[in-house]
Amino acid sequence: MTDSDSDEGGSVNTMGGSAAGEAARRRTFAVISHPDAGKSTLTEALALHAHAITEAGAVHGKSGRRGVASDWMEMEKARGISVTSAVLQFAHRGHVLNLLDTPGHADFSEDTYRVLAAVDCAVMLIDAAKGLEEQTRKLFDVCRHRGVPVITFVNKWDRPGREALELLDEIEREFRLRPTPLTWPVGAPGYMHGLIDVREPGQMLRYTRTPGGSHEAVEELVPAERAALEEGADWEQATEELQLLRADGAGFDRASFLAGTSTPVFFGAAISNIGVRLLLDAVVDLAPAPGPRELEGGGSRPVDAPFSGLVFKVQANMDPSHRDRIAFLRVCSGVFERGATVTRAASGKPFATKYAHSVFGQDRSMVDTAYPGDVVGLVNAAALRVGDTLYAGPPALFPAMPTFAPEHFAVVRPVDIGRSKQFRRGIAQLDEEGVVQVLVSDVRGDQAPVLAAVGPMQFDVVSARMAGEFSAPVRLEMLPYHLARATDAAGAADLNGSRLVEGEALTRVRDKAVLALFPDRWQANSFGRAFPGARLDPLLAAHD
């Protein structure tokens, strides 16, 4: 999974090398944002500028345009949103870039959080008009908690929006994160004339966009004297603002960026391919290469240790013609070699890596070798689960993936009882992927499990995939619960046997955890008072 000497076409092929040497050439990063900030469009634009594709995908919902490569599910294409993460690997300037596109909608927070456990850096999009939105704030907090450095891209500068200095103030005020702009816009949002590369301030980059933004925008280098003459007051204002920022000490500092106390900021417009090349170069120049990986219980595994990897995502039916199942593995150390037998930490049993693919959106190809930072798709890996560690040599176990407290619950039943086998297989698959959490009880049985979700849109994904992929349409009956607490067998017996409190206890299939469900906090408190000895422990919430 190394790139060729030439970056033509953004191709990546195998040359071989040491784990540490190849890791130094990797950049593994996620693109994250609030919904509708332009995340999938930027993902496509980055691949275009790396020459990994020849034509950018279109904004969803625009007639006559293609969907973006990273959005491959029918529901994503129909709604114009990302509902699952996707992996794109391509070459740029002698480096291998592993880009993970993530869902922006808060209902799919768990998928985004898993991706952030598999990357070394994140590119955060901010809408120039809306600034910091609710999901943006949550994602910044997660990146800080995980120690993931953040590069900020202020998108949609080709539309009316807020002032650049105002947006920087908001970032610093809200996140206690020092913004250090590396590009600066000439002209107000909606009236952009070009960009100044802060590292080369004596010139302006002027852009001529291509029709529909399907190809790279043409860049023209305009000397400062000419820019001042042609852009007048806008050029003067931009240079004055940069002088003000320099006087305020807003210069880029790599140490503080890697420590998560500052964020380099870029401006542009992904749909028009403005400023995208500068951002892509910054990922190569600024984002950290893969390094030692923290282990459960303390210590770390260096990149040159024997092979180890983390399964951060499981996805079925990416290829409708094959109906297979793929486990996405982030290589953390050593060299991955297809066909090698490794150990699954959760069971201690051997696992054969016979079918391994490199993934680019929905497309994939066989891969023989991969290095730290690379993402490998293990095909038909039925034994693997999200959060699994695979290793060779000395044992390794990476920290477990978080499971968030569900806030929406629904009983799911097959529309056609004759499709019960397909129904059970589909629900089990979606549970293993982490699309929803599946709860069961002795009262309802296997034919009517309870689906638990962080957000209600997860139920739409279940309905669409059960009908389209498993040929087992379902009907959902919403339950009146919005609060879950961890309990035990004694607490479950108390809750299910009580007539004083509205609620019930069910068992989560994935890990056999017992969850007590209540309509609201008041009912949970009432149960606690009625049964003071019962266990009621809070669960990790997606908004924590």
State the DSSP string of 400-462.
PPP-PPP-EEEEEEESSGGGHHHHHHHHHHHHHHTSSEEEE-TTT-TTS-EEEESSTHHHHHH
111 is in an annotated binding site: no
Residue in this structure with the two tokens 């499990």, named with its chain if needed: 449
* CATH architecture designation of domain 26-288: 3-Layer(aba) Sandwich (3.40)
R_g over Cα of the chain: 25
291 is in an annotated binding site: no
In this structure, are residues 10 and 358 in contact, taking their beta carbons and an 8 Å threshold? no
Whole-prediction pTM value?
0.84
Q: What are the boundaries of each domain within the chain?
A: 26-288, 294-391, 408-538
**CATH superfamily of domain region 294-391:** Translation factors (2.40.30.10)
102 is in an annotated binding site: yes
- Here the tokens at position 460 are 């739409």
DSSP string across 112-150: HHHHHTS-SEEEEEEETTTBS-HHHHHHHHHHHHHT--E
Could you tell me which of 377, 400, 278, 266 has the C-alpha nearest to residue 319?
377
In three-state secondary structure terms, 301 is strand
In this structure, are residues 514 and 491 in contact, taking their beta carbons and an 8 Å threshold? yes
Please count the other Cβ atoms lying within 10 Å of the Cβ belonging to residue 281: 15
Instruction: Say whether 294-391 and 26-288 share the same fold.
Output: no
**pLDDT, one tens digit for every residue, the chain (544 residues):** 544 434 444 555 545 679 999 999 999 999 988 888 888 889 989 999 998 887 765 333 333 334 444 444 455 445 544 445 678 899 999 999 999 987 755 666 678 888 889 999 999 999 999 999 887 887 888 888 889 999 999 999 999 999 999 999 999 999 889 999 999 999 999 999 999 999 988 899 999 987 767 788 899 999 999 999 999 999 999 999 999 999 988 899 999 999 999 999 999 999 999 999 999 999 999 999 999 999 999 999 999 999 999 999 888 766 666 567 889 999 999 999 999 999 999 999 999 998 898 877 667 788 999 999 999 999 878 889 989 999 999 999 999 887 788 999 999 999 999 999 999 999 998 998 888 999 998 888 778 999 999 889 889 999 999 998 899 999 999 999 999 999 999 999 999 999 889 999 999 998 999 999 999 999 999 999 999 999 999 987 655 5
104 is in an annotated binding site: yes
Q: How many Cα neighbours within 13 Å face the side chain of 121?
A: 27
DSSP string across 245-283: HHHTT----HHHHHTTSEEEEEE-BGGGTBSHHHHHHHH
Distance CA 302, CA 333 (A): 6
Q: What is the CATH number of domain 408-538?
A: 3.30.70.3280
In this structure, are residues 225 and 181 in contact, taking their beta carbons and an 8 Å threshold? no
Distance CA 520, CA 380 (A): 41
In three-state secondary structure terms, 224 is helix
Distance CA 61, CA 151 (A): 29
- Contacts of residue 339, defined as CB under 8 A and 6 or more positions apart, other chains included, come to 352, 353, 354
Distance CA 505, CA 499 (A): 13
538 is in an annotated binding site: no
